[in-house]
Amino acid sequence: MNRKLKESFFKDVYEVVKLVPHGRVTSYGAIANYLGAKSSARMVGWAMNSSHNIPDVPAHRVVNRNGMLTGKHHFDTPTKMEELLTVEGVKVSDDKIINFKEVFWDPSLELI
């Protein structure tokens, strides 16, 4: 993927992530699907890995399709992602969101 296309895709990912409500989470795949790039969940992950120094992108609200905190290693500390989610009322145990279906936010359904 050329650099400009990659930067544009990353920017689109960040704009979707900014819309995830407080206390809710979404997945890499849900974002990719919303952006019309259903098979690009991994690319969304790359975008999220690069987003942790962008203050208005709530990267902690993006998890894998099973509710696992797979991006936790890209935060300042290994527990920071869980801490941020817990403050928002999201229940986490063993790096997995307990009530994942209840707090899942699907941009394809919510952003109509």
Q: What is the pLDDT of residue 56?
A: 93
Q: What is the pLDDT of residue 98?
A: 96
Secondary structure tally for the chain: helices H, strands E: 6, 4
Model confidence, pTM: 0.92
Delimit the domains of the chain by residue range. 3-105
Please give the helix or strand (H or E) that residue 26 lies within, else none. Answer: strand 26-27
Q: What is the pLDDT of residue 13?
A: 96
Q: What is the pLDDT of residue 7?
A: 82
Q: What is the pLDDT of residue 112?
A: 78
Query: Could you tell me which CATH class the domain 3-105 is placed in?
Result: mainly alpha
Q: What is the pLDDT of residue 47?
A: 94
Residues of the chain with pLDDT under 70: 1-2, 5-6
